[in-house]
Chains A and B, each alone.
Chain A
Amino acid sequence: MSGIIPSLRVSSPGELRVNRKEALRYLGYGKNVPDDSVLELMDACEAELLAAAQGRACWVRVPVIVPSTFCVDLGFGPIESVSLAKHLAGCHSALLFAATIGIGPDRLIAKWSRLRPSRSAVLDALGSSAIESWCDLVELELTRDEEKHCDRFSPGYGDFALHHQKDFMQCLDMGRTLGITLSDSLLMTPTKSVTAVIGLGASARTCGNKCMFCTKENCIYREVIV
């Protein structure tokens, strides 16, 4: 292993949750109400998914240096990103954070994609909502005693390049701590995994809406910014 020792949190039985509303949004229901058969399928899938999932999360605290409006240093070399620099302005430190709900959900999604694609799609959506809920839960615990903190900001948001996933892998030793691997195209397996920077500091910018700093304004999953 390398770097400082990452802290680790593993979910207790019953701690993982899915967010039905989010899952329906991912499935493209918008404001439409799903019929009973869909709701029944969601019940079955939720039970199957949660039985196969286990939450793990790890993090390290690093100092934040923002030498310019387009560059951030989190201790592993410069990150050229205007959006991350803007996001972390006013932060003295940050948590490098990674989380996953494990490979079990991926197995189910892959299995049902061959046998019953509708079930696979529902499991996929529920899995996405479950990893978000797990991240929210751990983030809340980690920032409870902080004066103020930013929302999670992940490689791929704005101009924070996806290749920085490799830095997360190395710094958090994610292979060992979480069992996360990176593909050639920098996508994580298990797919229901998240890496993010959480800025800390009295002047940290927060908006309570994950989508606010994202420049992809036509995203169909974009939450409405009030």
Chain B
Amino acid sequence: MTLLEKIHSSRTYCDGGMGTLLQARGLKPGELPERWNLTHPEDIIDIHSQYLAAGANIITANTFGANILKYGDELESIIAAGLANVRTAISRLAPEQQADRWAAFDVGSLGRMLKPLGDLEFEDAVEIFAKSIRIAARHGADLIFIETVNDSYEAKAAVLAAKENCDLPVFITCVYDAQAKLMTGADPAAMVAMLEGLGVDALGMNCSLGPEQMLPIVPRLAAETSLPLIVNPNAGLPRTVDGRTVFDVDADRFADFMVEIVNAGASLIGGCCGTAPEYIRKAVEKTSGLPFRRPEKKTHTVVSSYTHAVRIGEGPILIGERINPTGKSRFKQALREGDIDYILNEGVRQQEAGAHILDVNVGLPEIDEPSLMLNVVRELQAVSDLPLQIDTVDPVAMEQAMRACNGKPLVNSVNGKQESMDAVFPLVKKYGGVMIALTIGPDGIPDTAEGRYAIAADIVAKAEAFGISRRDIVVDPLAMAVSSDPQSANVTLESIRLIEERLGVHTSLGVSNISFGLPNRDFVTSTFFALALQSGLDAAIMNPFSVEMMKVYHSYRALRGLDANCSDYIGFASGLSTQTVTSSAGNIAAATFGTDSGEPLKHAIVKGLKDKAGALAAQMCASMDPLDVVNSQIIPALDVVGKGF
């Protein structure tokens, strides 16, 4: 039986702690434990043998800290000896007992923080892990077991290194605190989303907590993951007894808790700090008779950041569209000048305005998009903890952004043309992500709902054949300007219904296209947004600064029972100024845009400040295309003025 067959068909046991056992055998404080693979191999083999005798299937080599930072030129010999020690221990078992035993290359945290919080580059971390993993694969490891990771970005670096440098199964366990968060903030849903996206084979938690404290976190992980769940607790929490610090759970109580942990959904169990072969032996005895439950396949659609996950399909999701140069002269200027702070501000302001996800589009013909995209993704992740939507048609920029993303992103977009699927599918398969699938086929955009559904169905079928689940596809059936085709909104709304009903996938729309060419676009866009939500729309790429759009969002949630006690609605509505709520249409718009500080030219025109408007227009024409000034500033302002009459 292979390891993967084993973990999907029956309970599998990991080993327990190593450090405390080595210390009992004379490891000095400050001494590097992995060196004992060479200097004290019989001690290490003996510990492995004891865990094998206790019933462990997976024996982790004594290689937790075996990386190039600590061991330099000695690295290969330390890793080779570590794996050889496990092999020797397995070979000493009676032949009939050697089946279902595997030697894991144990990968621990590097002890260095990645940028932006620390000084280690993400790609350097990948390479440090890769060096060790290549050695381990050469020396016969059966699997890569990444453990005790307390930072999501480091977890991503380690998993990528493993997937790019060997074909072995990859298991990973992270360190959660009592609040079920990693040291750098990720919750179980965020970690599961990212790690499943990266293609690990089993995941879970270890260290820091005892079994009792881990117990409430197990169902949270089990509710998110479709993979076998690993739970390796410490032997309780450290407690001082007679001046000595000890862990406070003995082997019997440990095993009792492990029964509960198995019942809560763990498939692989073992121990961490303070546990010894006796703990594993008793846990095996007490849990081996319990029925094995395969992990349930999950169907929810989820993206994540380095702190939290966002589910698509459980209430409207707002994707902030403001990090995008289309039609925004100030933004174009910021991109050309490399004014990252302006972009970051747009990100933070959208989060404050209520966006759940940030769309990131930095495409301009004259700039180096891959390099700017990478920079913006990294920088945004230092100021905002929202999941990102990588929005580009450049596959190089897309890959760099997906690689640097500290979570599972939305990917905008793929379409029904073969070349688009050929470019995007491999990236989603490798890095994980949810694809926005546009209903554009080889012949363009069909003008019927059936036509758009057919393209969506084709993309879903081809993605599944490629190994991408339909839960990782969100279809955008495209909103086209109602000013040029009176049926366009009806077709889009019908497409949403067909796609959701027949394909069971979720939908998203760039809603503002619908009002292109019309004055006071927000009125049309927001009404269309309401209709689309009612038709089943799950997410919208929209402007979270638009009061009209936010009115629809909050009202819809309150009306559909998605806002307990209408509390979000009340918070939103009571924060609006009286003028905005009660004045005439013209004044609503005047009150909600064109402030003196944000858009001074619009403000000056709306307020009738003739001389100021003239001076500002002349000033703007010095740095912008005059037609851009007319389209982006003067016409919208005149629309507002016109409405006032």
Contact B150–A179 (Cβ < 8 Å): yes
Q: Residue B116 contacts which of A110, A115, A175, A181 (CB distance < 8 angstroms)?
A: A110
> Known contacts A6-B245, A7-B240; is A76 also within 8 Å of B19 by CB?
no
Contact B30–A102 (Cβ < 8 Å): no
A103 to B114 CA separation, bound complex (whole angstroms):
12
Among A1, A76, A106, A170, chain B packs the most CB atoms within 10 A around the CB of A1
Q: What are 15 A-B interface contacts by the 8 Å CB criterion?
A: A1-B273, A2-B23, A3-B23, A4-B244, A4-B245, A76-B30, A77-B30, A107-B382, A111-B383, A111-B384, A114-B382, A170-B30, A175-B150, A181-B110, A183-B113
Which 4 pairs from chain A and chain B are nearest by CB?
A: A179-B183, A76-B30, A1-B19, A3-B29
**Cβ-based interface call for B265 (8 A):** no
Contact A102–B274 (Cβ < 8 Å): no
> Known contacts A5-B247, A76-B30, A114-B379; is A183 also within 8 Å of B240 by CB?
no
When distances are taken between beta carbons in the complex, the residues of chain B under 8 Å from A173 are 19
- A-B interface pairs (CB < 8 A), number: 121
Interface residues of A in 66-83 (CB under 8 A from B): 75-77
When distances are taken between beta carbons in the complex, the residues of chain A under 8 Å from B581 are none
CB distance from A81 to the nearest CB of B (A): 16
**Cβ-based interface call for B208 (8 A):** yes
**Cβ-based interface call for A61 (8 A):** yes
Question: CB-CB contacts of B114-146 with A at 8 A, as 1s and 0s?
Answer: 001111100000000000000000000000000
Contact B238–A2 (Cβ < 8 Å): no
When distances are taken between beta carbons in the complex, the residues of chain A under 8 Å from B344 are 114-115
Report whether over half of chain B's contact residues are helix, strand or loop; otherwise say mixed. loop
Q: Residue B345 contacts which of A77, A115, A167, A171 (CB distance < 8 angstroms)?
A: A115
Known: A5-B274, A184-B119. 12 other contacts (CB 8 A): A1-B17, A2-B23, A3-B27, A5-B247, A10-B178, A61-B243, A75-B30, A107-B117, A114-B383, A115-B345, A189-B113, A189-B118
> Known contacts A7-B245, A8-B237; is A181 also within 8 Å of B345 by CB?
no
Q: Residue B245 contacts which of A5, A106, A167, A179 (CB distance < 8 angstroms)?
A: A5
**Cβ-based interface call for B204 (8 A):** no
A54 to B181 CA separation, bound complex (whole angstroms):
12
Question: CB-CB contacts of A94-122 with B at 8 A, as 1s and 0s?
Answer: 00000000111011001100110000000
Contact B119–A115 (Cβ < 8 Å): no
Question: CB-CB contacts of A1-29 with B at 8 A, as 1s and 0s?
Answer: 11111111010000000000000000000
A176 to B185 CA separation, bound complex (whole angstroms):
15
Among B22, B111, B273, B341, chain A packs the most CB atoms within 10 A around the CB of B111
CB distance from B407 to the nearest CB of A (A): 15
Q: Which residue of A lies closest to B179 (CB)?
A: A54
**Cβ-based interface call for B232 (8 A):** no
**Cβ-based interface call for A169 (8 A):** yes
When distances are taken between beta carbons in the complex, the residues of chain A under 8 Å from B177 are 10, 54
**Cβ-based interface call for B595 (8 A):** no
**Cβ-based interface call for A182 (8 A):** yes
Contact B247–A104 (Cβ < 8 Å): no
When distances are taken between beta carbons in the complex, the residues of chain B under 8 Å from A211 are none
CB distance from B440 to the nearest CB of A (A): 37
Interface residues of A in 167-193 (CB under 8 A from B): 167, 169-171, 173, 175-176, 179, 181-185, 189-190
A97 to B145 CA separation, bound complex (whole angstroms):
31
A115 to B384 CA separation, bound complex (whole angstroms):
11
Instruction: Please report the total number of A residues contacting B with Cβ < 8 Å.
Output: 40
> Known contacts A1-B273, A176-B207, A183-B118; is A111 also within 8 Å of B29 by CB?
no
When distances are taken between beta carbons in the complex, the residues of chain A under 8 Å from B178 are 10
Contact A176–B208 (Cβ < 8 Å): yes
**Cβ-based interface call for A212 (8 A):** no
Q: Which residue of B lies closest to A183 (CB)?
A: B119
A173 to B207 CA separation, bound complex (whole angstroms):
12
Contact B30–A175 (Cβ < 8 Å): no
Question: CB-CB contacts of B145-161 with A at 8 A, as 1s and 0s?
Answer: 00010110000000000
Contact A5–B113 (Cβ < 8 Å): no
When distances are taken between beta carbons in the complex, the residues of chain A under 8 Å from B211 are none
Q: Residue A2 contacts which of B31, B175, B341 (CB distance < 8 angstroms)?
A: B31
When distances are taken between beta carbons in the complex, the residues of chain A under 8 Å from B384 are 111
When distances are taken between beta carbons in the complex, the residues of chain A under 8 Å from B207 are 176
When distances are taken between beta carbons in the complex, the residues of chain B under 8 Å from A182 are 111-112
CB distance from B381 to the nearest CB of A (A): 10
CB distance from A102 to the nearest CB of B (A): 7
Interface residues of B in 80-122 (CB under 8 A from A): 109-113, 116-120
Q: Which residue of A lies closest to B239 (CB)?
A: A7
Contact B185–A103 (Cβ < 8 Å): yes
When distances are taken between beta carbons in the complex, the residues of chain A under 8 Å from B32 are 2, 170
**Cβ-based interface call for B33 (8 A):** yes
Contact B111–A103 (Cβ < 8 Å): no
When distances are taken between beta carbons in the complex, the residues of chain B under 8 Å from A54 are 177
When distances are taken between beta carbons in the complex, the residues of chain B under 8 Å from A76 are 28-30
A176 to B28 CA separation, bound complex (whole angstroms):
18
